[in-house]
Structure 1
C-alpha cells in the first residue's frame, strides 16, 4: 500500500462526531453544575439544601454508571448514546416545566436532578467505548485521541459554567436549564449521523447474558487487574474530596458574595487549564512517563486545594484553579489509555462503566458531609478538612507499585501505534 492510498483510507468523521456529541452533552452538564446549586440557594439560602441537591444528582450515578457499561455491551454503543441523551434532555426540561406549573421545592429539584443524572453515564460510556474504533479509522495513536477527547471534554466545562453564569444573571436559573435540554438534543442529532464499526448491536455470542451477570463480569475484570483496581480506588478518594469544592463550597462562597459570574470564572479557569493539560499530554506521552504525570497531578491538586482553603483574592483563586486543571489535564487521557489497552473489545463498555461508577461511589458522601460541615464550622475549615487528605493520598501514590504498570508494555488489543 502506498503512502497516498494509506492517507486516503483515513476517516476522521467518526472521531469528529464523537467529540462533537461529547462537547454538546458535557456543555449541558456544565451549565447544570452552576444552575442547580444557584437555583436552590436562591430559594432557601442554606448550604445544606444545595448539598442535598448535589448529592441527589450524584447518588444515582453510582448505580446507573455501574450498569451502564452492561447496557452498552448488550444493546450497542450508538443506540445507547442516543437513548441516554434523549432521556437526559426530557428530565432536565421537567425542571422549568414544573416551575411554571406545580412549583418547585428542594425535594422536587433533588428528585429531578437525580433522574437526569441517572441517564448520563450510559451515554458517556457509549461514546468512550467507540474511541478505539474511531482511532483506527483516523489512524492516530490512542494517546493522541485520548488527549483530544479529554481536552474537548474540558472545553465543554469551560463553555458550560460560563454560559450558565451569564444566563443566570440575565434570564434566571430556571430558564437557563432549557439550554441544557437543547444541548442534549443537538448531541442526539450528531450521533444520528455516526457510522462506525462496532457501534451497532453486538453479536449475540459476545453480549452479556443479563444485566446482573454482565455487571459482575465487569467488576471482576477490573478488580483482578491491579492497575485498573488501583486507579479506581485513587479516583474514588479524589472525587470524594474534590467534587464538593466545585459543587458546594464555591457556590456557597460566591452566593454569599452575590457574584454568580465569578463562580463561572473559577470553573472556567479550571477547564482552561484542563484543556491545555490534556492537549499537552498528547505531545508529552512519548517523552514523559505516565506514572510521573499521575503523581504530579495528585500532589499539585492537594497543594492547590490547600491554597484555595485560605479563600484568597480572586486572582489567586483563579491562578490556583488554572493550575489544578493544567496538572490534572493528563489524568483523563491516562485513565482512558489504561482502560482501552487492558480490556477486550466485547467488554470495553463494562470496564468503562465500572471505572466510572467507582469515581462516583464516594461522591454522595462528600457532598452530604460538606454541606452540614459548612453550616457547623464554616467554609474555611471545611475547605482545609477536604484539602489536607489529598496531600496524604499523593504521598501514598508514590508507594504504589501498580502505577508503574502505566508504562509497562501491553498486548495490542487495539492498535496504539501512529501510522
Structure 2
C-alpha cells in the first residue's frame, strides 16, 4: 500500500507540473477539489458489496469506541508489541519533517519555491525504491535490516545542518524515505505478537497513530521553522529521531 501511495505521489507531481504549466493553478485546484467529490461517488457505485462483519445492532458508536479501547489496551500492556508500534509511528513522524518544511527550506537557501517539488519527489521516490528493493529480500533479511533502515531514515536529515543545495537535499530525503521500508520487517513481528482477534483493531490503531504522528511532526517543526532556519529544524529532527528510533529498535 505504501508503495502504491508514494508512486501516486510521484506521478501526481509529474502530471501536476505539466498541468500547472498548461492551465492556471486556480483552475487546477478547482479540478482537484472536484475529484474529491467524485471519489466517494465512484466508490459507492463500483465497489463490490461486502457482508457486514457484525449485525447492525452491534455496529454502534459505543461498540466501535469499546473495540478501539480494547485494541489500545492490548497494545500498551504488551511491551514488545508496544515498542514495535511506537517504532512504526516514530520513523515517519520524524522523517516526514523534511518533506513538511520543503517549501520553507528552498526559499531560505535562495532557490525558487517551486524547487520544493524536487524535495517532495525525492522523499516519495526514495520510499518507493526502498520498498521495491526490500520486497525482493527474504523475510529473515528484512528482519535483520530493521535497525539499519530505521536509523537510515533519520541520519540523512542531520546533514541539513550544513544547508545542502536543493539537488543534494532531494537526495538526502530520498535516502530518508528509503528507510521507511523497515515496515516490511516490522509488520510480520507485529502480527506474530498480536492475538488474531486483535489484529484488525491493531492495524487501525497503528495507521491512525502513524498519520497523527506525521501531522504533529510537521506542525511542530513548522512552528519551530518560524523561529529557526528550516535546515536547522530538519537537522535537529534528524538528531532527535536517530536517538529515539535507535532506542526503540535496539530495546528488547
TM-score scaled by length of structure 2: 0.79
Instruction: Please tell me whether the aligned partners of residues 302 and 390 of structure 1 are also in contact (alpha carbons under 8 angstroms).
Output: yes
Instruction: Please tell me whether the aligned partners of residues 126 and 176 of structure 2 are also in contact (alpha carbons under 8 angstroms).
Output: yes
For the pair 1:151 / 2:3, whether they are aligned, the reply is yes
Q: 1:234 to 1:245 in 2, by over 3 A?
A: same
Count residues in correspondence: 248
Instruction: Please tell me whether the aligned partners of residues 165 and 263 of structure 1 are also in contact (alpha carbons under 8 angstroms).
Output: no
For the pair 1:271 / 2:114, whether they are aligned, the reply is no
Residue 223 of structure 2 is matched in structure 1 by: 372
Q: What's the CA shift string for 1:374-413, capped at 9, x where partnerless?
A: 2223223222221211221243145312xxxxxxxxxxxx
1-structure distance, mates of 2:186, 2:59: 25
For the pair 1:213 / 2:66, whether they are aligned, the reply is yes
Shift of 1:296: 1.3
Q: What's the CA shift string for 1:283-326, capped at 9, x where partnerless?
A: 21345042x22211221122210123322123322222222222
SS, match of residue 154 in structure 2: helix
Shift of 1:158: 1.4
Shift of 1:367: 3.5
The CA RMSD over aligned residues, in Å, is 3.2
Q: 1:221 to 1:345 in 2, by over 3 A?
A: same
Shift of 1:266: 1.9
TM-score scaled by length of structure 1: 0.51
Counterparts of 1:63-142 in structure 2, within 5 Å, are: none
Structure 1 gaps, min length 5: 1-148, 402-419
Instruction: Please tell me whether the aligned partners of residues 265 and 318 of structure 1 are also in contact (alpha carbons under 8 angstroms).
Output: yes
1-structure distance, mates of 2:240, 2:159: 14
Instruction: Please tell me whether the aligned partners of residues 118 and 167 of structure 2 are also in contact (alpha carbons under 8 angstroms).
Output: no
Aligned partner (choices 179, 199, 220) of residue 327 of structure 1: 179
Counterparts of 1:8-407 in structure 2, within 5 Å, are: 149-167=1-19, 170-172=23-25, 175-176=28-29, 178-179=31-32, 181-182=34-35, 185-186=38-39, 189=42, 192-195=45-48, 199-204=50-55, 210-247=63-100, 249-255=101-107, 257=110, 259-290=112-143, 292-328=144-180, 330-340=181-191, 343=194, 347-401=198-252
1-structure distance, mates of 2:189, 2:47: 25
Shift of 1:340: 4.9
Q: What's the CA shift string for 1:315-374, capped at 9, x where partnerless?
A: 32222222222232x234345444555556664442222112222444454334323322
SS, match of residue 226 in structure 2: helix
Shift of 1:155: 0.5
Counterparts of 1:402-417 in structure 2, within 5 Å, are: none
1-structure distance, mates of 2:134, 2:45: 31
